[in-house]
Amino acid sequence: MSRLIVLSNRVKLPDNKPMAGGLAVALQNVLIGSSVVWMGWNGKVVENHSHDSGPTNSFSNKQTDLTGKDTCITYMTTALTSEQYNQFYCGFANNVLWPLLHERTDLISQKPQDYAGYQAVNHLFAKQLERIIEPDDVIWVHDYHFLSVAYHCRQLGIFNRIGFFLHIPFASLQFWKTLKQSREIVHHLAHYDLVGTQTQRDRNNCLNVLQYYLKDHFIHDQFVASAPINVLDMKQNFAPPYTCTRAKMTLNLALKSQHSLIVGAYPIGINVAQIQKQVSHLPLESSLGSTNSNQNTEHTFQQIIAVDRIDYSKGLLKRFAAYGDFLAQHPSYQNRLQLLQVACPSRLDLPTYQSLYNDVKKKVHKINQQYSSEKNAWQAINYSETVLSHEKLMTMFWQSDVGWVNSLKDGMNLVAKEYVAAQNPDNPGVLLLSRYAGAAEQMQDAVIIDPNNSDSMLTGLRTALKMPLEERQSRYRSLLQGLQKDSLQIWQQSFLDDLYNESSSQISSMEPVNIHMSDS
């Protein structure tokens, strides 16, 4: 019996504990099939084993049956040694690949042993796949931690179908050129059968990079591509993600003289019905103090919500600065407006993240001090690091007049989509969405802003807070229709259809055109 084997860095084990990572939560919601194996790191770090024989990672198994879904999931996880954690996870994955793919090469910090550690852990998981693989199994690998797993699998003689999905942005060629290991990493990436990105822009970046580094491996030096996407020029309210978004190329690789690689855009969605069920019992009145009545008057208390990991890609400091400027320019909103910032500290072992965390706390304190009042207990920013259940978070979305996504670079940003899905249809809030979030490629009926431009943020916030009910309802209906059409299940099905079917009928049959490459 064919199994789907999923590999991701973190695995959401079947317990009641909330988890901040969007990838693991999303995967938990779509792994439906007769037999699924979910493999990855269990989040634990142990002391190094003997250096004589190298680390030996033991994998533990835990099985669960999903009631009513005829699905058995086997969770196969391992701890990382402290050396693997420092070199693979902290080192190359998050000090090199994360800033590279978010086009922040100024933040790259690499130690000599980090790349070897990254490859060693990719090989470790390939070896575990070799131990359990059966002839009809299909492997689905997730995110930047495992760019090289398919290569190591092929070296071990695994020729099953292997797909890779990147949840974060795919950087343009000029940034890849700054990393000395890029040629080898891209060569490794080419050993997948299917590579998926979140957006068409990321897909085109991927094609450019593949053609540049693999030009000597192309059996045909031309392949299908669609025009780059400019979010601000798009006419669609919710862009159709699966129209001419796949390209197929044939490569001559060392282990396979004619290897077919498909590259496609598969924007991840959400479970709209589940979210609507979570908020279906809520009254119009808010329990947090905001009435969510939004009667287009500055004399109504209004609430803005923002939910982010504390990461430099999320634009937190720029949001706080713009919000402080807004209160200064519109003093009538003082004591009548609050920003609820739900923040999740992460990767605090890395100096860059520790520094950002400190800066965030200082900035929040400074703004609250600046606008503090002895007359009442109002705070300009209500800051919380509490890890919330999904249902509690959706309740907060329902109760908020504006959802503010301020990403400087983001693969998709599911907070944007969840905020819309959780709104009251009769009196919806407004999504304030960065043009640099992947979600902006689809969600053009949000109020689109540029987080690098203070005037854009201030104007956008004012527009959102003053928007008439009829316009809010119209924008909400259009956005919700798109979310329902391109749901989480559609994302899964679209990707797996192409992964399971080598000759997918969805591959564009357009005449090949040259990919435009920028050498800047």
The C-alpha atoms of residue 160 and residue 136 are separated, in whole angstroms, by: 7
DSSP string, 424-437: -TTS--EEEEETTB
Name the amino acid, one letter, at 122: N
DSSP string, 396-416: HHHT-SEEEE--SSBS--HHH
Give the Å distances, CA to CA, from 364 to 301, 310, 317, 319, 358. 20, 13, 9, 11, 10
The helix/strand/coil state of 365 is helix
CB atoms within 10 A of CB 454: 14
Q: Residue 78's beta-bridge partner residues? A: 41
Give the Å distances, CA to CA, from 146 to 27, 201, 233, 320. 16, 21, 34, 34
The structure tokens listed for 86 are 């420092």
The helix/strand/coil state of 50 is coil
Cβ 17 vs Cβ 25: under 8 Å: no
Which residue in 280, 277, 273 sits closest to 488, CA to CA? 273
The C-alpha atoms of residue 328 and residue 334 are separated, in whole angstroms, by: 8
Place of tokens 């400190």: 358
The C-alpha atoms of residue 51 and residue 343 are separated, in whole angstroms, by: 39
DSSP string, 287-322: SSS------S-TTS-EEEEEEEES-GGG-HHHHHHH
Phi, psi of 94 (to 5 degrees): -105, -15
Choose the catalytic residue: 167, 187, 188, 259.
Answer: 167
Describe the strand order of the beta sheet including 337-344 as a list of residue ranges: 381-384, 337-344, 302-309, 402-405, 430-434, 447-449
Choose the catalytic residue: 137, 202, 308, 410.
Answer: 410
Examine the residue annotation and report whether 167 is marked as an active-site residue of this protein.
Answer: yes
CB atoms within 10 A of CB 344: 16
Examine the residue annotation and report whether 410 is marked as an active-site residue of this protein.
Answer: yes
Residues annotated catalytic, as ranges: 167, 410
